[in-house]
Structure 1
Amino acid sequence: MSEHSQIIAELGYKRGNPRRTDVVNGIRGDGKPLTARVSISDEKRQQRERARRIEDMALAKELGISLNELCEGKSMKQPADSNFDSYQFAASVAAATFAQCWLEHDAVILDTETTGLDWGSEIVEISIIEARTGLILMNTLVRPINTIPAEATAIHGITNEMVADSPLFFDIAISVAQILNGRTVIAYNSAFDKKMLCSSAAYSSGEPPYVGSDFQCAMLAYAQFKGDWNHGHGDFKWHSLVNAAKQQGIELAGTAHRALYDCQLTRELILKMAAE
């Protein structure tokens, strides 16, 4: 029996009717050998149960609680710590402090638009601005090696025709590196933009243009600042950049999901957080 199945068997399927928890890899939930024939519908039901339990195990590990607590529904409750309000307030203050530091220490804000979301996708537009002043340091379309899929164009509006005469990422990589070198780089979902920089650089066998830079995430900072709790993940809820701006009453003329606009919107959000 696999480790997953063993733990599932030990759980005894506490969430459902015990009569619905007959089999896990040939062993009953109570540990006795299987002696009854299982119908096709029962097998399908048990497959669903096993898949759900494996997901539960991963969630329990992420939340740092026991599987029994998870089965009792405790993962879906806001932390019972009586000091949670204080923790929430402290997280908001920490986010505001981060924002103030970004403005005071010459940070830059970066945003990219891409051909997709996964590794192997390429940058089709990149913008970098100064966090404190809003000065535009770079704003350019980028011609990818591969064509831009229609589903990507549907999000950011950038077509293959628009980038036909634009530089390759290889052509701008040194300039990007010079701007980012030694600076704090802020992005809204920084893990994604950092991955896309590396993915695009891989097409030219170049070094990622952020060596020596400190990437920090405005999305995670705003999640702490807003303080909404995500019960399923046991952490502060992430918000899209557009929704975050709406929540803070920020209005900015321009087109969402274009790199420069998203940089400028991120800057406005940082200014809001820093002012608290």
Structure 2
Amino acid sequence: MYDYTEDGDAAAVWAQWALLQPNLRIVDTETTDLYDAEVIEVAVMDGLGATLLHSRVRPVHRIAYDATEAHGITADLLRDAPDFRVIYPDLRRVLDGGYVVIYNADFDTPILNRSAELWSLPNFPMQPYCAMLAYAAYYGDWSDYHGSYKWQKLTAAARRFGISTRGAHGALADARMTVGVLQGMAGYVKRPSHGQGS
């Protein structure tokens, strides 16, 4: 059973606080690859789950086969999509001054900036908070080997709170799941037992 550790409680308090921020921005992206990637879909939601921005994006470089296997987005689907420089002004407007939360921020943030750099656009002036690290502490599965809490997949975190994972690995669905996980951590849905669900 989950033992309600101090770190888990702190993560729950953080989630409560984050959801109270009127400028909360939940961001998710889908990308061309895991490394040296570009954004090919981006979604931004507020803390209530309202969509503030959602767009597919035509990349400069090709989409890796493994990436398409994960998210199902092909070059053909992006043929008529705007490129990143077209969506950049709207994305900056939505994110500037926002309290930005991303599930696995260390992955998405550099890719957003790399996509901007490909068009000689400024990086995004944000220091996002990582919902994945917060949920790892909340869930409480410690790794002695890594000296930290084990990361949990977004879909697994969502299922533990009874949140639908339909459309997983799409930016909009993943942003919606992240909102739900924050709400779950904050206590708006029943707190799960450690190890419950998969």
- List structure 1 segments (4+ residues) > 3 angstroms apart after TM superposition: none
Instruction: Look up the match of 2:138.
Output: 225
Instruction: Look up the match of 1:138.
Output: 53
1:126/1:259 contact within 8 Å kept: yes
1:272 matched to 2:184: yes
Instruction: Give per-residue Cα distances to partners, 1:78-107, cap 9 Å, x unaligned.
Output: xxxxxxx7xx71101110111011110121
1:99/1:274 contact within 8 Å kept: yes
Instruction: Look up the match of 2:194.
Output: none
2:151 maps to amino acid: W
Cα distance in 2 for partners of 1:134, 1:151 equals 29
Secondary structure at 1:257 match in 2: coil
Alpha-carbon distance, 1:255 to partner: 1.1
Size of the aligned set, in residue pairs, is: 185
Alpha-carbon distance, 1:253 to partner: 5.6
Cα distance in 2 for partners of 1:187, 1:250 equals 20
Instruction: Look up the match of 1:39.
Output: none
2:184 maps to amino acid: K
Paired residue for 1:200, among 115, 119, 127?
A: 115
Aligned residues with identical type, % of pairs: 37
Specify whether residues 151 and 205 from structure 1 end up closer, same or farther in structure 2 by C-alpha distance, changes over 3 A only.
Answer: same
Alpha-carbon distance, 1:150 to partner: 1.8
More helix as a share of residues: 1
1:169 matched to 2:81: no
1:127 matched to 2:39: no
1:24-35 alignment runs, 5 A limit? none
TM-score by length of 2: 0.89
Alignment RMSD, CA only?
Answer: 1.4
- Greater RCO between the two (CA within 8 Å, min separation 6)? 2
Cα distance in 2 for partners of 1:249, 1:96 equals 13
Structure 1, gaps ≥5 residues long:
1-84
Instruction: Give per-residue Cα distances to partners, 1:56-99, cap 9 Å, x unaligned.
Output: xxxxxxxxxxxxxxxxxxxxxxxxxxxxx7xx711011101110
1:179-190 alignment runs, 5 A limit? 179-190=94-105
Instruction: Look up the match of 1:95.
Output: 11
1:127/1:260 contact within 8 Å kept: yes
2:144 maps to amino acid: H
Paired residue for 1:110, among 10, 18, 27?
A: 27
Alpha-carbon distance, 1:141 to partner: 0.5
